[in-house]
Structure 1
Amino acid sequence: MLMPFSPTFPIRTDRLILRPFNHDDLEGLNAIQSLPEVARYVYWEPRDLDESAEALEIRIGQTTLTEEKQPITVAVELAETGELIGDAMLFWQSEQHRSAEVGYVFHPRHHGRGYATETVAALLELGFDGMGLHRIFGRIDARNDASARVLERVGMRREAHLVENEFVKGEWTDEVVYAILRREWRARR
């Protein structure tokens, strides 16, 4: 992989546009991040406008990879309307092992329509074809059945169930790890 790496934006799918965040996204991002059901399976609590503004500033700068342990973060909008419906990332874990992690959150109003699956598929393509990665994985709270279905639909296999491995929001939680290799991704295409 050549560094620095920066995707050619926007990334278009059948129904979505994945693009860098900008300052105009504050209201839409907060509409997502302020919801308890969105924050349920992530490390942060529902965010107020100021907290979303801080998160947005970080996301605005996450468009180029210069070293491992960095994410590329994208705003996910509906191509038809331009509405911000989600937030996704490809987090470069290791240069030596050519691995990355995917993550995503979507406004509940847009759940069940395949948008998360479409987004993750685009991030897998970016990682495997754009960056030349070997392995991409996703880590989810074991209770998050909807997210497990997303990862399974893009061809990831369940590799591990870690019992009470993290203390999150006052409780021990289980984590499930899904992954897919580049050769598996290509075989599915």
Structure 2
Amino acid sequence: MLKPTYPLETPRLRLRPFTLGDLTAFHAIYSRPDVVRYLYTEPLDLDGARESLERKKTGRTELREEGDALCLAVERRDTGELIGDCMLRWASEAHSGGEIGWVFDPAHHGHGYATEAARELLRLGFAEMRLHRIHASCDARNTASARMMERLGMRREAHLVENEFVKGEWTDEFVYALLRREWEAGRPS
């Protein structure tokens, strides 16, 4: 079980629960075709963004049982601007597994913000929940996400060929993972 004290802070970011007040910024991110290109959804109109925020993001602030997810807004500490979101899901209690994911506004790509947020999710999963293994996946064409997972120290464990039919086409998927002992060995002292 995990019930973090919010907000979670990293050197440059604040990870916090979503609120309905995030609708404008959330819509600005998820309405972009380039943002949802490798996701299962199409760009969201304002009503779709509101529904997604209410159903999938707000209130998901603790992990009580397998299948629960933390869905957190990511904002810059210096400006307070919402720049993306990240997720830690308790994937398996029996196998002590978790999953992480993220979506960021392209205006903030290339600054290491997504990597910084994902590192905090790994810390939560490994140090606080004591998970054994955390995985993440991406569309194989999403080279930026694949590179980021490698920067996090995750290893590519699978290249699934044409495993899903998404948005009218067969897509490949990369699966990356990291074990707690690997995370502990790679942390700075």
**Normalised by the size of structure 2, how large is the TM-score?**
0.97
1:119-145 superposed Cα distances (whole Å, 9 cap, x missing partner): 100000000011110000001000000
Counterpart amino acid of residue 73 in structure 2:
A
**Is 1:45 the equivalent of 2:31?**
no
Q: Residue in 2 aligned with 1:171?
A: 169
Structure 2 CA distance for aligned equivalents of residues 109 and 93 of structure 1: 31
**Aligned equivalent of 1:56, options 53, 61, 66:** 53
Structure 1 CA distance for aligned equivalents of residues 141 and 165 of structure 2: 14
Unaligned runs of 5+ in 2: none
1:76-123 superposed Cα distances (whole Å, 9 cap, x missing partner): 000000000001100110001111111100000000110010010000
1:135-154 to structure 2, matched below 5 A, reads 135-154=133-152
Q: Residue in 1 aligned with 2:9?
A: 12
Q: Residue in 1 aligned with 2:159?
A: 161
1:3-54 superposed Cα distances (whole Å, 9 cap, x missing partner): 3x21111110010000000111000100100000000011101001111111
**Aligned equivalent of 1:87, options 85, 88, 91:** 85
**Is 1:73 the equivalent of 2:75?**
no
Q: Shift in Å at residue 66 of structure 1?
A: 2.0
Counterpart amino acid of residue 109 in structure 2:
H
- Give the aligned CA root-mean-square deviation in angstroms: 0.7
Q: How many residues align?
A: 186
Unaligned runs of 5+ in 1: none
Structure 2 CA distance for aligned equivalents of residues 19 and 134 of structure 1: 25
User: What SS class does the counterpart of residue 56 from structure 1 fall into?
Assistant: helix
Q: Residue in 2 aligned with 1:187?
A: 185
Structure 2 CA distance for aligned equivalents of residues 127 and 9 of structure 1: 15
Q: Shift in Å at residue 180 of structure 1?
A: 0.2
1:108-147 to structure 2, matched below 5 A, reads 108-147=106-145
Q: Once the two structures are aligned, what percentage of the paired residues are identical?
A: 61
Structure 2 CA distance for aligned equivalents of residues 66 and 18 of structure 1: 19
User: What SS class does the counterpart of residue 93 from structure 1 fall into?
Assistant: strand
Q: Shift in Å at residue 168 of structure 1?
A: 0.5
